[in-house]
Each structure stands twice: as C-alpha cells, then as structure tokens.
Amino acid sequence: MSKTATKAVSQKDISRFRYTLKEMNRNKVGYVMIAPFMLVFTLFTVAPVVVSMVISFTDFNLLQTPNFVFLDNYIRLFLDDDIFLIAIKNTFVFAAIVGPAGYLMSFMVAWFINELEPKIRAVVTLIFYAPSISGHVYLIWGTLFSGDSYGWVNGFLLNYNLIDEEIQFFEDADYVMPLCIVVALWMSLGTSFLSFIAGLQGVDRSLYEAGAVDGVRNRWQELWYITLPSMRPQLMFGAIMSITSSFGFGGVVDALCGNPSVDYCAWTIMHHLNDYGGARFEVGYSSAIAVVLFAIMMGANALVKKLISKVGS
C-alpha cells in the first residue's frame, strides 16, 4: 500500500518536474528577454539588500578585513546609540503623519476633481502635481520662512506687530519638524495622485446608476460602497508609492535645515545611515541601520496591505 502510494506521488512529481522543464524549454525566449533587465536589477537592487544584511553582522570599515561580530551592531543600535533612538522616533512621527496625510490628500483631491470638465481637470491636476516633480523648488519654503525680516512670514508677522523679533524657523527645534512635515505634504501629491485620478476615471459609471436605484443616498455612501471597492488595486499601488516616498525624505530636510538639524530634531534613520556609511565609513554599523530601515518599510507596506483589503467591506 504505502509503497504504491509513494510511487504514485513521486511519479506525479516527476511528471510535473518534466512538465516544468518542457515549459521552460518551450518558453526559453522569455528568459532571454528578461535577462538584461534582471541582470541590472539584481546587481544594483537585490544584491545591495543581500550584501547589507551580510555586512550588518560584521565590523567592516572599508579598510580592514571584516570580522564577524554577530548581533553587536544591532545591540549597539538599540541599547547604546541615543541618537539612533531619536532618529527612529522622528522617522516614525514623520512617516506616520506624511504617509497617511499625503495619501488621503492625494485621494481626496483626485476625488474632488473627478467630476470636473476634462480640460479644467487637466489644469487642476497640473497645479497639484507640479510641486512633486519640480526638483529643488522646495527651497522656496526656505525663502518664505527665512530667519531674517526679508522672509515673507517673518516680514508679515513683524509688520502687523504680532512678534517683536524674527523667528529663526529653521534653527528652532519647535518649528523645524512641523515645517518639514508641511513641505513634505506640499510635495506628496505624486505618482499615487495620478494613479487615483486614473482609477476614479475607470470606475464603471453604470455601477453608480445601479447604486442610486438600490438606495445609495449620498456621495459618501457612494464613495464607500461603490468607488473605493472598485479601485482597490489603485489604492494598493498608491499606498506603496506614498509609504516609500514618506520614508525617503531626508534630502529635503538637509537642504532646508542643514545637516545635522538643530538638536537632531529632524534627524531621521536615513540621516543616521548616511552619517555612518558615507561620512564615518562604519559600513558594518550603517548596514545594520539600513536593514532596520528596510524592515520598517516592508513592515509598513504589509500592514497597509492588510488595511486596504478591508476597504468597503
């Protein structure tokens, strides 16, 4: 009995294996076609992740032969590095505000403009999308909030006697983080925004008409029961785009507030990573930071995936 059963299973396995081989052979041109892309992708995207993971267990510093130090880097990170803890806190505050708020704003604006005439919609789309593609134009926030009386905000407040002397917006720990968040939000209507516009345009109009007949009473019900469920794939894609960009915002902070920002008040994990990897050449330690950041990003994405699957149910 058991013998025949084993035999049957293994025979099935063999035929499946053979089938796969046959399919591989029949479609081998597919491998040729993906080869150039996959080679570059593996070399500059996959390999760095894997190499970081390996190096994070060593004390590699670019000069000496690395020693295996097991979890020392991670222990030092979480128990011995106060600035890293500040960085983690800031990164979370930043991502927890900019990610969801930027995402919501992208969706809301896309939804608001969905029923406008196509030509007007194109103009409004441009106005909202422009800040995210305009390179370093965000530096204008530095001019607007400049610490001298020629900064527009300070000038305005001084002129109406609301303050007695200029506020050093980018050197005052109370203002730096909120300002960076505002600038990040200003730039947050990017790829996800475009994806939402397209998704909303793609919702089948007959669903709305059917919904109206079935007793959908206002636009909020329509949004929750019809629109959101039918554009779940776009919501998913948009979420990934928003999360990724909300974690990758360090460069803007540097340009506006200097590096390091005053009292490390806008110091994020990314700054910490660049500091140890780029400036101090403690590559092993910086790789541990990179692995932690990588895990946080992947975790955030997995969490959001779960949330979105519940939309409209």
Which residues within the stretch 64-103 sit at the binding site for another protein (CB under 8 A)?
none
C-beta of 170: minimal distance to another protein in Å?
14
- Residues 283 to 302 in contact with another protein, rule: CB under 8 A: 283, 286-287, 290, 293-294, 297-298, 301
| Diameter of the chain measured on Cα atoms | 95
Nearer to another protein, 181 or 241 (CB): 241
Nearer to another protein, 6 or 20 (CB): 20
Q: How many residues bind another protein (CB under 8 A)?
A: 111
Q: How far is residue 16's CA from residue 10's CA, in Å, rounded to a whole number?
A: 10
Nearer to another protein, 102 or 176 (CB): 102
C-beta of 62: minimal distance to another protein in Å?
8
120 binds another protein (CB under 8 A): no
Name the amino acid, one letter, at 33.
M
Q: Which two tokens stand for residue 33?
A: 């076609």
C-beta of 4: minimal distance to another protein in Å?
29
Q: Site mask, another protein, residues 10-49, x = CB under 8 A?
A: ----------x--xx--xxxxx-xx-xxxxxx-xxxxxxx
- Residues 177 to 236 in contact with another protein, rule: CB under 8 A: 186, 189, 191, 194-195, 197-199, 201-202, 205, 208-209, 211-213, 215-219, 221-222, 231-234, 236
304 and 235 Cβ atoms separated by less than 8 Å: no
C-beta of 45: minimal distance to another protein in Å?
5
- Residues 122 to 161 in contact with another protein, rule: CB under 8 A: 122, 124-131, 133-137, 139-141, 143-144, 149-152, 155-156, 158-159
Q: What are phi and psi of 58, to 5 degrees?
A: -125, 175
C-beta of 310: minimal distance to another protein in Å?
15
Nearer to another protein, 8 or 130 (CB): 130
Q: Which two tokens stand for residue 132?
A: 């995210």
